[in-house]
Structure 1
């Protein structure tokens, strides 16, 4: 059986002591397989679910030619034959859902409202604001519009048999409206990915427990829970696990038995009490890396099983994240998030990077990728500017709360001067 360590060593730029972020992203994506299970859900339960197959339009949208605005429908050949003013007799009216009952003769028009079925014999609509009406007669300049203006054609939005939405799409509110317009009441979606997570460390306390000297409240579980819920995944909180081998092994087996992916925070660096790392050397098929990344240097990735040894029982993909709160968030968004999307069956696109001007100098060492936290805004000329949010320590969680973007400093970049251009990744749509 090929191990994660064997596979990782075949990847370009592989250096377990200083693995570039791009190499780590490439490795983890290779091991992500979408969940196979599919279920049908009603539209009201389909928001943020991943579409399991293409939805083909069962009809033309719109189903018939209709008016794009309030006005008067008529035969547009009169625009060609008359170069001066047009004069037409109003033969009746058509409303949305209430069509005009007969064909329109030459010299006639029909008063139409937006969405009304185009009457037989009509192909053009003149907006009501261009018209002068006296009794049943309208007049308007013949050079104000072209034949076919202001008419929506049948199938203009979607043609019958055309895919309306493609497999892998994460369904948005507009998608649900589109499906409803097609008469589709339920859709096939992928099963929600199940992700189990827990924190490790004797110093951690859950909310509501007293803080002993040297102890801290566990924030990482709440952060992980929120990030997973924002992705509409099934999040299984297994609590805090003490630095005790039997407890850690039991937690890992339980997590593997109940989830597709297991996330832990803490216990993967080189400290004497980092038992997760020691245990997984024999219990799982896991590669341990030091990423060329700040924050988020230590990371473990691989598989764990619910059985007594590797290869026995139910497998789950495993990510051992750092213990510092900001490092947990950065490694999740830069390494883990894309894998969870792929495993959910979603079509993954990298968040767009935006160019901004740094308002101040930023210290940066070449040879690692940094994700500093910043506040970005447009200046009076509409150009993006960004300012770091103070201290960038990996334990300063307030730097994430105050920020609205990552300042992405590339692997090869060095110090940034005020006024230099940098890439930013906005939290909106990511977090």
Structure 2
């Protein structure tokens, strides 16, 4: 079977993506959710001309000459309105955020005013018309679209939505991602190991990647290499999730039964075996209910890389976001051999040096090694048939963390 180019494999995964349903949640529950509809302002901000500073509301023409005395006719703390009118030679004590009184056209900041007595001040610096006044609608006006659908609701977006007077927001439901680890050799962390057994670690990293991408995760534990057990576990999983991730059992060994079990459970496989390293046995399909199934290899680094390359864009598409390439340019810190037909993802450390990003690959790239994965903060991406490279050449990197 010919190996499928990675770009084509990803295109097939994203080609059939449908967004999850919309739910309306209180603002305080919308952190890191994705906006499902354009959001319009329900009010104007600021709703009136307001003072940007503590000081005195004045007429600019009265402060044209330094030292002119102004009579203080009242005060306007934030949250109140001064109902009078500022006339020639008058001013109003004002505080940040308060409405500018009628008749005033600028703010004399308190640092530029000298108090003569309880009812009189003198200006020590001139002002210009409109100085230190926030005009009504400076930030946004009622009816303005302030956030577009597909926006990740980060702290700034949530603050803006609140300022627009939205207490509830329409967001995409989090996709439900189920994880199913397979293999007779696997045991849960904390268990005692018999000869030939290992700890199942992949689910924890993949689950964290899924959650960070915006999914709800269901860990279904470990199922043994037994066809009836696999069929039962997969059938149950397909009823509970939007995306099923199988971990292990995707290769060609006598005990790699997952692909057959998926087919028996009604999953039509779209591809199996990709021209990538690590992660060649990765597979993908869907059932007639539209559940996505991503089969990741058992090697820990291969499952980690596959989750970043396929699961993260899939979750983005399901939540209405644009799956974007996240590649950056860096400088190689070591030489690399020429590449074969498979696209390589090499664990590396990334740091800044003289204003440039520098990527240093680990000398050993065995896909079972989690110790180097934990240190790596990027993957160097080597396209198929890339020629040999030397230190100082440019390369492309996928950042894993800062």
The alpha carbon displacement at 1:338 in A equals 0.9
Q: Which runs of 5+ in 1 are unaligned?
A: 1-15, 305-310
Among 36, 40, 43, which residue is 1:59 paired with? 43
Q: Is the contact between residue 69 and residue 113 of structure 1 (CA under 8 Å) also seen in structure 2?
A: yes
Q: Distance in 2 between matches of 1:55 and 1:255?
A: 35
Q: How many residues get paired?
A: 398
Aligned equivalents of 1:127 and 1:292: distance in 2?
67
Q: How far off is 1:161 after superposition?
A: 0.7
Write the distance in 1 (CA, Å) between the matches of 2:109 and 2:361: 52
Query: Is 1:365 equivalent to 2:347 in the alignment?
Result: no
Give distance in 1, aligned partners of 2:84 and 2:372. Answer: 69
Q: Deviations over 1:308-343 (max 9, x none)?
A: xxx4xx441111111111111111111121111211
Give 1:223-302 correspondences, 5 Å limit.
Answer: 223-282=205-264, 283-302=266-285
Query: What is the alpha-carbon distance in structure 2 between the residues aligned to residue 342 and residue 146 of structure 1?
Result: 51
Any idea what SS the aligned residue of 2:237 has?
Answer: helix
Q: Using the alignment, how far apart are the partners of 2:159 and 2:75 within structure 1?
A: 29
**Match of 1:342, SS?**
helix
Q: In the alignment, what sits opposite 1:33?
A: 18
Local SS of the residue matching 1:298: coil
Rate the CA distance shift 1:428–1:127 in 2: closer, same or farther, 3 A: farther
1:247-280 CA deviation, whole Å, 9 max, x = no partner? Answer: 1111111111111111101122222221112334
Q: Secondary structure at the match of 2:324?
A: coil
Counterpart for residue 356 of structure 2: 383
Superposed displacement of residue 140, structure 1: 3.8
Find the aligned partners of 1:422 and 1:149 in 2 and give their Cα distance: 51
Are residues 1:405 and 2:386 paired?
Answer: no
Instruction: Please name the residue that 1:13 is paired with.
Output: none
| Structure 2 unmatched ranges of 5 or more | none
Q: CA deviation at 1:177?
A: 2.2
Residues 1:325 and 2:300 aligned together: yes
- TM-score for the superposition, normalised by structure 2: 0.90
Shift of 1:78: 5.9
1:187 Cα deviation from its structure 2 partner: 2.0
1:284-312 CA-partner distances (Å, limit 9, x unpaired): 210333222222112111113xxxxxx4x
Q: Deviations over 1:5-63 (max 9, x none)?
A: xxxxxxxxxxx623222211211110111123x32222222212222322221110121
Q: 1:42 and 2:26 equivalent?
A: yes
Contact 1:225 1:235 in 2 (8 A): yes
Aligned partners of 2:49 and 2:100 also within 8 Å: yes
Question: What residue number does 1:152 align with?
Answer: 134
Alignment pair present for 1:70 and 2:70: no
The 8 Å contact of residues 78 and 86 in structure 1, kept in 2 or not, is answered as no
Other structure's SS at 2:311 match = helix
Change (3 A) 1:266 1:112: same
Residue aligning to 2:322 = 348
Q: Does 1:422 align with 2:401?
A: no
Q: What's the counterpart of residue 194 of structure 1? A: 176
Q: Residues 409, 146 of structure 1: CA spacing in aligned structure 2 closer, same or farther, 3 A cutoff?
A: farther
Alignment of structure 1 residues 171-182 onto 2, 5 Å: 171-182=153-164
Counterpart in the other structure of 1:17: 2
2:310 corresponds, among 323, 331, 335, to 335
From the superposition, tell whether residues 180 and 246 of structure 1 become closer, same or farther in structure 2 (CA, over 3 Å). same
**TM-score normalised according to structure 1 size:** 0.84
